[in-house]
Protein backbone atom coordinates (compact mmCIF):
# COMPACT_ATOMS: atom_id res chain seq x y z
CA UNK A 1 0.00 0.00 0.00
CA UNK A 2 1.38 3.42 -0.94
CA UNK A 3 1.78 6.14 1.67
CA UNK A 4 -0.85 8.22 -0.13
CA UNK A 5 -3.40 5.41 -0.06
CA UNK A 6 -2.59 4.66 3.58
CA UNK A 7 -3.27 8.29 4.46
CA UNK A 8 -6.48 8.13 2.42
CA UNK A 9 -7.68 5.08 4.34
CA UNK A 10 -6.71 6.58 7.68
CA UNK A 11 -8.93 9.52 6.89
CA UNK A 12 -12.03 7.40 6.36
CA UNK A 13 -14.19 7.80 9.44
CA UNK A 14 -17.83 7.01 10.07
CA UNK A 15 -19.86 10.18 10.51
CA UNK A 16 -23.22 10.07 12.24
CA UNK A 17 -26.15 12.23 11.14
CA UNK A 18 -29.50 12.56 12.87
CA UNK A 19 -32.15 10.77 10.83
CA UNK A 20 -34.31 9.80 13.79
CA UNK A 21 -37.30 11.78 12.52
CA UNK A 22 -37.28 10.15 9.08
CA UNK A 23 -40.00 7.51 8.45
CA UNK A 24 -38.78 3.95 8.93
CA UNK A 25 -39.65 0.99 6.70
CA UNK A 26 -39.25 -2.78 6.98
CA UNK A 27 -36.54 -4.58 5.01
CA UNK A 28 -39.24 -6.14 2.83
CA UNK A 29 -40.38 -2.65 1.77
CA UNK A 30 -37.37 -2.15 -0.48
CA UNK A 31 -39.44 -3.23 -3.49
CA UNK A 32 -41.92 -0.37 -3.06
CA UNK A 33 -40.01 2.32 -1.14
CA UNK A 34 -36.47 2.16 -2.54
CA UNK A 35 -35.62 5.14 -4.77
CA UNK A 36 -32.59 4.36 -7.00
CA UNK A 37 -31.93 8.00 -7.87
CA UNK A 38 -31.91 9.11 -4.23
CA UNK A 39 -29.66 6.19 -3.32
CA UNK A 40 -27.13 6.90 -6.05
CA UNK A 41 -27.10 10.63 -5.35
CA UNK A 42 -26.70 10.01 -1.63
CA UNK A 43 -23.97 7.37 -1.71
CA UNK A 44 -22.24 7.32 -5.12
CA UNK A 45 -22.28 10.80 -6.67
CA UNK A 46 -18.78 11.40 -5.32
CA UNK A 47 -16.37 8.77 -4.06
CA UNK A 48 -15.76 10.98 -1.04
CA UNK A 49 -19.38 11.33 0.08
CA UNK A 50 -20.11 7.99 1.74
CA UNK A 51 -17.81 6.29 4.21
CA UNK A 52 -19.11 2.75 3.71
CA UNK A 53 -18.65 3.00 -0.04
CA UNK A 54 -15.12 4.37 0.42
CA UNK A 55 -14.12 1.43 2.61
CA UNK A 56 -15.55 -1.18 0.24
CA UNK A 57 -14.02 0.40 -2.87
CA UNK A 58 -10.68 0.84 -1.11
CA UNK A 59 -10.36 -2.86 -0.26
CA UNK A 60 -12.33 -4.37 -3.18
CA UNK A 61 -9.48 -4.62 -5.72
CA UNK A 62 -7.27 -6.43 -3.18
CA UNK A 63 -10.07 -8.84 -2.30
CA UNK A 64 -10.75 -9.55 -5.99
CA UNK A 65 -7.03 -10.22 -6.46
CA UNK A 66 -7.52 -13.40 -4.42
CA UNK A 67 -9.90 -14.76 -7.06
CA UNK A 68 -8.76 -16.75 -10.12
CA UNK A 69 -7.39 -14.58 -12.92
CA UNK A 70 -10.12 -15.75 -15.27
CA UNK A 71 -13.67 -16.35 -14.04
CA UNK A 72 -16.37 -17.74 -16.31
CA UNK A 73 -19.62 -16.66 -14.62
CA UNK A 74 -20.19 -13.97 -11.98
CA UNK A 75 -23.45 -12.87 -10.36
CA UNK A 76 -23.73 -9.61 -8.43
CA UNK A 77 -26.53 -10.59 -6.05
CA UNK A 78 -28.71 -7.75 -4.79
CA UNK A 79 -26.77 -5.07 -6.62
CA UNK A 80 -29.37 -2.39 -6.03
CA UNK A 81 -28.87 0.23 -8.76
CA UNK A 82 -25.05 -0.04 -8.58
CA UNK A 83 -22.52 -1.22 -11.16
CA UNK A 84 -19.15 -0.83 -9.42
CA UNK A 85 -18.79 -4.63 -9.09
CA UNK A 86 -18.95 -5.27 -12.86
CA UNK A 87 -16.57 -2.34 -13.37
CA UNK A 88 -14.11 -3.71 -10.82
CA UNK A 89 -14.36 -7.23 -12.33
CA UNK A 90 -14.14 -6.17 -15.96
CA UNK A 91 -10.71 -7.74 -16.46
CA UNK A 92 -11.38 -11.03 -14.65
CA UNK A 93 -14.88 -12.13 -15.60
CA UNK A 94 -16.02 -13.54 -18.92
CA UNK A 95 -19.77 -13.31 -18.21
CA UNK A 96 -21.34 -11.00 -15.64
CA UNK A 97 -24.93 -11.16 -14.48
CA UNK A 98 -26.42 -8.62 -12.10
CA UNK A 99 -29.63 -8.74 -10.09
CA UNK A 100 -31.96 -7.15 -7.58
CA UNK A 101 -35.21 -7.61 -5.69
CA UNK A 102 -36.68 -4.20 -6.61
CA UNK A 103 -37.91 -3.63 -10.15
CA UNK A 104 -36.87 0.03 -10.04
CA UNK A 105 -33.28 -1.05 -9.42
CA UNK A 106 -33.37 -3.62 -12.20
CA UNK A 107 -34.57 -0.92 -14.62
CA UNK A 108 -31.71 1.34 -13.51
CA UNK A 109 -29.23 -1.47 -14.14
CA UNK A 110 -30.69 -2.03 -17.60
CA UNK A 111 -30.32 1.66 -18.46
CA UNK A 112 -26.60 1.49 -17.59
CA UNK A 113 -26.03 -1.69 -19.62
CA UNK A 114 -27.69 0.00 -22.61
CA UNK A 115 -25.53 3.11 -22.03
CA UNK A 116 -28.59 5.23 -21.29
CA UNK A 117 -27.91 5.91 -17.61
CA UNK A 118 -28.69 9.32 -16.15
CA UNK A 119 -26.14 8.75 -13.39
CA UNK A 120 -22.46 9.52 -13.94
CA UNK A 121 -20.23 6.71 -12.62
CA UNK A 122 -17.09 8.63 -13.55
CA UNK A 123 -16.13 9.59 -9.99
CA UNK A 124 -16.48 6.01 -8.75
CA UNK A 125 -14.40 4.80 -11.71
CA UNK A 126 -11.67 7.30 -10.83
CA UNK A 127 -11.66 6.02 -7.24
CA UNK A 128 -11.26 2.44 -8.46
CA UNK A 129 -8.55 3.52 -10.91
CA UNK A 130 -6.65 5.15 -8.08
CA UNK A 131 -6.68 1.94 -6.03
CA UNK A 132 -5.81 -0.20 -9.06
CA UNK A 133 -3.06 2.22 -10.14
CA UNK A 134 -4.51 1.99 -13.65
CA UNK A 135 -4.28 4.50 -16.50
CA UNK A 136 -7.59 3.60 -18.12
CA UNK A 137 -10.31 6.18 -18.59
CA UNK A 138 -13.70 5.87 -16.84
CA UNK A 139 -15.29 5.56 -20.27
CA UNK A 140 -13.13 2.58 -21.22
CA UNK A 141 -13.67 0.92 -17.84
CA UNK A 142 -17.43 1.09 -18.27
CA UNK A 143 -17.31 -0.01 -21.91
CA UNK A 144 -15.22 -3.04 -20.97
CA UNK A 145 -17.61 -3.88 -18.13
CA UNK A 146 -20.67 -3.51 -20.39
CA UNK A 147 -19.12 -5.88 -22.91
CA UNK A 148 -19.13 -8.60 -20.21
CA UNK A 149 -22.74 -8.07 -19.09
CA UNK A 150 -25.11 -10.90 -19.97
CA UNK A 151 -28.33 -10.22 -18.09
CA UNK A 152 -30.32 -8.95 -15.13
CA UNK A 153 -32.09 -11.34 -12.79
CA UNK A 154 -35.03 -10.85 -10.45
CA UNK A 155 -33.97 -12.30 -7.10
CA UNK A 156 -35.29 -12.84 -3.60
CA UNK A 157 -32.77 -14.18 -1.06
CA UNK A 158 -35.60 -15.39 1.18
CA UNK A 159 -37.20 -17.66 -1.42
CA UNK A 160 -36.32 -20.89 -3.23
CA UNK A 161 -35.08 -20.61 -5.86
CA UNK A 162 -33.33 -17.32 -5.17
CA UNK A 163 -33.44 -16.47 -8.87
CA UNK A 164 -37.14 -15.84 -9.44
CA UNK A 165 -37.06 -14.66 -13.04
CA UNK A 166 -34.91 -13.40 -15.90
CA UNK A 167 -35.63 -9.67 -16.11
CA UNK A 168 -33.37 -8.80 -19.05
CA UNK A 169 -30.94 -10.49 -21.40
CA UNK A 170 -28.33 -8.72 -23.49
CA UNK A 171 -28.42 -11.61 -25.94
CA UNK A 172 -30.97 -14.44 -25.88
CA UNK A 173 -28.24 -16.93 -26.73
CA UNK A 174 -26.69 -16.59 -23.25
CA UNK A 175 -27.91 -19.20 -20.78
CA UNK A 176 -28.29 -18.25 -17.12
CA UNK A 177 -26.24 -20.73 -15.04
CA UNK A 178 -27.86 -22.56 -12.15
CA UNK A 179 -24.70 -21.89 -10.14
CA UNK A 180 -21.92 -19.34 -10.59
CA UNK A 181 -18.15 -19.38 -10.16
CA UNK A 182 -18.34 -16.20 -8.08
CA UNK A 183 -21.20 -14.56 -6.20
CA UNK A 184 -20.70 -10.99 -5.07
CA UNK A 185 -23.12 -9.40 -2.62
CA UNK A 186 -22.47 -6.06 -0.96
CA UNK A 187 -24.82 -4.24 1.42
CA UNK A 188 -27.47 -6.83 0.63
CA UNK A 189 -27.87 -9.83 2.93
CA UNK A 190 -28.08 -7.95 6.23
CA UNK A 191 -30.09 -5.15 4.59
CA UNK A 192 -32.58 -7.69 3.21
CA UNK A 193 -33.11 -9.13 6.71
CA UNK A 194 -34.24 -8.04 10.15
CA UNK A 195 -33.82 -11.15 12.28
CA UNK A 196 -30.97 -13.64 12.62
CA UNK A 197 -33.25 -16.32 11.17
CA UNK A 198 -33.89 -14.20 8.08
CA UNK A 199 -30.19 -13.41 7.71
CA UNK A 200 -29.27 -17.11 7.96
CA UNK A 201 -31.83 -17.91 5.25
CA UNK A 202 -30.44 -15.16 3.02
CA UNK A 203 -26.87 -16.43 3.41
CA UNK A 204 -27.97 -20.00 2.67
CA UNK A 205 -29.75 -18.82 -0.45
CA UNK A 206 -26.77 -16.82 -1.67
CA UNK A 207 -24.34 -19.69 -1.13
CA UNK A 208 -26.65 -22.14 -2.91
CA UNK A 209 -25.87 -20.19 -6.09
CA UNK A 210 -22.11 -20.86 -5.84
CA UNK A 211 -20.50 -23.81 -7.58
CA UNK A 212 -18.42 -26.15 -5.40
CA UNK A 213 -14.96 -24.62 -5.37
CA UNK A 214 -16.42 -21.22 -6.25
CA UNK A 215 -16.13 -18.01 -4.28
CA UNK A 216 -18.26 -15.57 -2.31
CA UNK A 217 -17.30 -11.90 -2.11
CA UNK A 218 -19.44 -10.29 0.58
CA UNK A 219 -19.46 -6.78 1.99
CA UNK A 220 -21.64 -5.02 4.48
CA UNK A 221 -22.09 -3.32 7.83
CA UNK A 222 -21.72 -4.70 11.35
CA UNK A 223 -23.69 -3.57 14.40
CA UNK A 224 -26.39 -1.57 12.61
CA UNK A 225 -30.15 -1.77 13.10
CA UNK A 226 -31.03 0.46 10.15
CA UNK A 227 -29.66 2.56 7.32
CA UNK A 228 -31.01 5.71 5.73
CA UNK A 229 -30.97 7.83 2.58
CA UNK A 230 -33.26 10.29 0.85
CA UNK A 231 -35.30 10.98 3.99
CA UNK A 232 -36.16 7.31 4.58
CA UNK A 233 -34.86 4.69 6.99
CA UNK A 234 -34.87 0.93 6.45
CA UNK A 235 -34.56 -1.67 9.19
CA UNK A 236 -31.81 -4.25 8.83
CA UNK A 237 -30.30 -7.16 10.75
CA UNK A 238 -27.87 -6.29 13.55
CA UNK A 239 -25.00 -8.38 12.26
CA UNK A 240 -22.04 -9.37 14.42
CA UNK A 241 -18.70 -10.73 13.29
CA UNK A 242 -19.43 -13.97 15.12
CA UNK A 243 -22.70 -14.55 13.24
CA UNK A 244 -21.14 -13.42 9.97
CA UNK A 245 -18.45 -16.10 10.18
CA UNK A 246 -20.73 -18.76 11.68
CA UNK A 247 -23.23 -18.55 8.83
CA UNK A 248 -20.45 -18.92 6.30
CA UNK A 249 -19.07 -21.97 8.05
CA UNK A 250 -22.53 -23.53 8.48
CA UNK A 251 -23.01 -23.37 4.70
CA UNK A 252 -19.74 -25.00 3.69
CA UNK A 253 -17.64 -21.88 3.16
CA UNK A 254 -14.02 -21.57 4.22
CA UNK A 255 -13.50 -19.40 7.30
CA UNK A 256 -9.77 -19.91 7.82
CA UNK A 257 -7.13 -17.84 6.06
CA UNK A 258 -5.28 -20.69 4.34
CA UNK A 259 -4.17 -20.80 0.70
CA UNK A 260 -6.03 -17.55 -0.06
CA UNK A 261 -9.35 -19.31 0.63
CA UNK A 262 -10.61 -16.77 3.17
CA UNK A 263 -9.94 -13.16 4.00
CA UNK A 264 -12.01 -10.86 6.20
CA UNK A 265 -11.28 -7.14 6.44
CA UNK A 266 -13.11 -4.86 8.90
CA UNK A 267 -12.66 -1.09 9.07
CA UNK A 268 -14.93 1.26 11.01
CA UNK A 269 -17.66 -1.45 11.24
CA UNK A 270 -17.62 -1.95 7.46
CA UNK A 271 -16.50 -5.40 6.30
CA UNK A 272 -15.55 -7.08 3.07
CA UNK A 273 -14.54 -10.72 2.67
CA UNK A 274 -13.75 -13.43 0.19
CA UNK A 275 -14.45 -17.09 0.97
CA UNK A 276 -14.11 -20.29 -1.05
CA UNK A 277 -16.90 -22.87 -1.12
CA UNK A 278 -15.50 -26.15 0.10
CA UNK A 279 -18.29 -28.49 -0.97
CATH number, domain of 97, equals 3.40.50.150
Residue 5 has pLDDT above 50, yes or no: no
Give the residue numbers of the binding site for S-adenosyl-L-methionine.
Answer: 39, 44, 78-79, 84, 100, 105
Across the range 188-203, mean pLDDT stands at 97
What band does 12 get if pLDDT is binned at 50, 70 and 90? very low
Position 203 in a domain? yes
Our CA angle for 219, 220, 225, nearest 5°, is 165
For 221-260, the pLDDT digits (tens) are 999 999 988 899 999 999 999 999 999 999 999 999 888 8
In whole numbers, what is the pLDDT of the chain averaged over residues? 91
pLDDT digits (tens, 9 = 90+) for 199-218: 999 999 999 999 999 999 99
The CA-to-CA distance between both ends of the chain, in Å, stands at 34
pLDDT in tens, 82-103: 999 999 999 999 999 999 999 9
pLDDT band for 2, please (50, 70, 90 cuts).
very low
Q: What is the domain extent for residue 40?
A: 21-276
Known binding residues are 39, 44, 78-79, 84, 100, 105
Closest CA to 124 of 107, 110, 105, 145: 145
pTM of the entire structure? 0.91
Structural domain contains residue 236: yes
Query: For residue 13, is it within any domain?
Result: no
6 lies in some domain: no
Does a structural domain hold residue 12?
no
Report pLDDT for 19. Answer: 63
pLDDT tens string 14-38: 445 556 678 999 999 999 999 999 9
At 162, phi and psi to the nearest 5?
Answer: -60, -40
Structural contact between residues 233 and 24, judged by C-beta atoms closer than 8 angstroms: yes
Percentage of the chain exceeding pLDDT 70: 91
Report if residue 106 sits inside a domain. Answer: yes
Total domain count for the chain?
1
pLDDT given for residue 3 in this prediction: 47
| Residue 257 maps to a domain | yes
Residue 14 lies in a domain: no
Distance of CA 201 to the CA centre of its chain: 18
Amino acid sequence: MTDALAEQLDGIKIEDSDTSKDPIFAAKDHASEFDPSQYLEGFYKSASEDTAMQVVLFFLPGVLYRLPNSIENVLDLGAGPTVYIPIAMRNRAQNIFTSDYAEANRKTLQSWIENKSDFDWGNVCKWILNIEASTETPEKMQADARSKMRGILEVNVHKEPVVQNIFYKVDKSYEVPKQFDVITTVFCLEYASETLEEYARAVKGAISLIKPGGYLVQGGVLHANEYSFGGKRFRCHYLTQQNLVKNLKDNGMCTEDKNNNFKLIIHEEIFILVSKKLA
